[in-house]
Amino acid sequence: MTTRSDAHGGVIHDIGYRPYTGPRLGRRYATRSLYVQSLRAAFGLGRSGRSKVLPFLLLGGMAAPALVMLAIALFAHLDRMPKDYVDYLASFSVLPQIFLAAQAPVLMSRDLRHHVVPLYFSRPATRGDYVAAKFAAMFSALMIVLALPLLLLFTGAMLAKFPVGDNLLHLLYGLVAAVLYALVYTALGLLIAAATPRRGFGVAAIMGVLMISFALANLTYALNGGFNPARTSSSWAFLISPSASVEALVNRLFDLSTDDFSALHAPTGAGAAVFLAVLLALTAGGYALTLRRYRNV
Amino acid sequence: MGPDGYVEPVSTVIKTDGLTKRFPGVTALDRLTVEVEPGVVGLVGANGAGKSTLIKILLGLSPATEGTGQVLGLDIATQGPAIRERVGYMPEHDCLPPDVSATEFVVHMARMSGLPASAARERTADTLRHVGLYEERYRPMGGYSTGMKQRVKLAQALVHDPQLVLLDEPTNGLDPVGRDEMLGLIRRIHADFGISVLVTTHLLGELERTCDHLVVIDGGKLLRSSSTASFTGTTQLLAVEVTDHPVDRAFDADAVLTERLTAAGLSVRGDGSRILLVELTGDDTYDTVRDAVDDLGLGLVRLEQRRHRVAEIFSTRSDEDADEYGHEHGHAGADAHRAAAAGGEQA
């Protein structure tokens, strides 16, 4: 083979082309690699230092109050945590929402904007695999953000020697809520992010949908006499907002925060079933539409 | 197919039979039947001739409306994933995220082709070196020149050591030097790496010295498919360029040399600039030219072997038509269209 001396000043000895004879791990491995890469990208890992700031700030912001509560529970000798697990997620729900709005476009819009998508589809993984990997990655990232404070609260409860069984049960309620939040957020966030190659539009649209729907749900609730304890039918208004739906469903399902005036509750009777059906339909619908989005890319 | 993902070498790399693709209102491919052997194959056609559609169908990404096809002996309709494991694809458009380095990007793409992590890193380093990317491979790709970007795009298509690469307009946007380097690389992909190449272009001229075989399509129809040698004839030409006479300014070096060589029994003609094209009859032609130039006291600037240019074969179409087309689509498009149309007349 030739040697090449070039502008870099050195001589590079070209040892010639070596064919690859090792294993080719195929489609499932490729899908898994895309999942890992996307999950890392959701936290800015493998990208520039600047892109790590926001996701870790949000993760920290989500965990910090739980740490404070842990400390209070330990040193102030309380008999229970200042906030219950599900209530904690409802109180700080805006942080995972910002995380979704900021990072869903990182997973979807970037590939569209820089036309990387055709490179994926010219490889063994299919369009379906692509959407599945991205969905799993966003879901996992949100679960980390949602579950970390719950685990901190549980750790605090155990250190302060609160009853194990009760806390374990309520941790489980919290995790159910986290899964529901993560599912419906991911489905909506990815669908919106996949609609535009512009990251800014994606961020604004996701935040807008979540915020406005939440405001509308509360407004409708209030206008229909929601604050009159006798009229539980006004709670159907929570269906307008995905985040309010999750909170209302979980509170009703596990009979939580019944004495808390500010906590949302789904209507009694068929309410819980309808809320669950709506949330699952929203998730499935978002996923199906995202899949459809990539059919002709 | 073995467990290591290899198939036996096949005699035809691409084979289509009556391949047709209709979109609502448009027929992108019209009963295309071609057979392509291992080597470097040029797919020539004007913009919108159906080149990209054909590539999508060959990758198994878009179903054909009618007809069948095989890539590396695998059926495009049913074995898409197996094809995509063995084929590399370099798209026409930009496809590089600016905030990632070439190394990170190509490693990721290697894993997406099924290479284990360590092999992906090793192959990435090798491949980037082969395409001529050195220290800059650790920098974010946003700062790369067009030439460097094209090299990274080529590297991601080669990193998994495919048996065939599909290159969509790889010379687009490159300056003449970059273009020559890219064409040289394409030649090496087959000659040194043993990988077959299908390369598309709307510029007929640039592929004639790179490709073994040319497929010309227009409006989704096959105009011609044959070896480059049969396009250009088998006669070889020698391009000769000499300096002016060092002392006598009035001395017409080209004319005198032409006279001298003709007298020696060679067929000589000018190409319009300062290059003389001498028919190559054997190794002694080189000696004859050298001696003649030396005798006249001239300097030899260029002495290189050349084929007849493909464009010459197609240049039968009247200039008015070409001009009319040229106004709308620019010179490059006009060239290809003229070439394609002329090919049609011959077909």
Domain-wise residue ranges, chain B: 14-232, 236-307
Residues of chain A contacting residue B93, judged by C-beta atoms under 8 Å apart: 115
Whole-model pTM above 0.90? no
Min Cα distance A128 → chain B (Å) is 13
Q: Please answer yes or no on whether B81 and A120 come within 8 Å at the CB atom.
A: no
Q: Is residue A288 part of a domain?
A: no
Averaged pLDDT, B283-300: 86
Q: How confident is the model at residue B232 (pLDDT cuts 50, 70, 90)?
A: low
What is the percentage of chain A residues whose pLDDT exceeds 90? Answer: 69
- Dihedral angle sign, alpha carbons of residues A6, A7, A12, A17: negative
Q: Are strands B40-44 and B196-201 parallel, antiparallel or unpaired?
A: parallel
CA distances from A111 to A259, B96, B148 (A): 48, 9, 20
Given this chain, do its domains B14-232 and B236-307 carry the same CATH topology? Answer: no
Q: How confident is the model at residue B330 (pLDDT cuts 50, 70, 90)?
A: very low
pLDDT of residue B81: 87
Question: pLDDT averaged over chain A?
Answer: 89
Q: Is residue A47 part of a domain?
A: yes
Please tell me which of the candidates A17, A33, A118 has its beta carbon nearest to residue B130: A17
Tell the burial category of A75 from Cβ atoms under 10 Å away from its Cβ (0-12, 13-18, 19+).
exposed
**Closest C-alpha among A170, A160, A144 to residue A88:** A170
Size of the A and B interface in Cβ pairs below 8 Å:
111
pLDDT tens for A212-263 read 999 999 898 888 876 666 567 788 889 999 999 999 999 998 988 777 777 8
Q: Which residue has the higher pLDDT, A86 or B336?
A: A86
Q: Is residue A137 part of a domain?
A: yes
Q: Is residue A144 part of a domain?
A: yes
* Dist CA B57 CA A27 (whole Å): 19
Its CATH class, for the domain covering B236-307, is alpha beta
pLDDT of residue A6: 47
* Dist CA A57 CA B21 (whole Å): 51
Q: Is residue A290 part of a domain?
A: no
Its CATH class, for the domain covering B14-232, is alpha beta
Two structure tokens written together for B109: 């793409």
For A135, the domain range is 3-283
Q: Is residue A296 part of a domain?
A: no
Two structure tokens written together for B190: 């087959």
Q: What are phi and psi of A56, to 5 degrees?
A: -75, -30
Averaged pLDDT, B310-314: 50
HSE-CB of B109 using CA atoms within 13 angstroms = 37
**Closest C-alpha among A211, A242, A243, A237 to residue A222:** A237
Closest Cα in chain B to A32? B112
First and final CA of chain A: distance in angstroms?
Answer: 42
For chain A, how many structural domains are there in total?
1
Q: Is residue A297 part of a domain?
A: no
* Dist CA A120 CA B100 (whole Å): 16
Min Cα distance A130 → chain B (Å) is 11
* Dist CA B282 CA B215 (whole Å): 30
HSE-CB of B167 using CA atoms within 13 angstroms = 33
Q: Is B92 on the interface with A (CB under 8 A)?
A: no
Amino acid (1-letter code) at residue B180: D
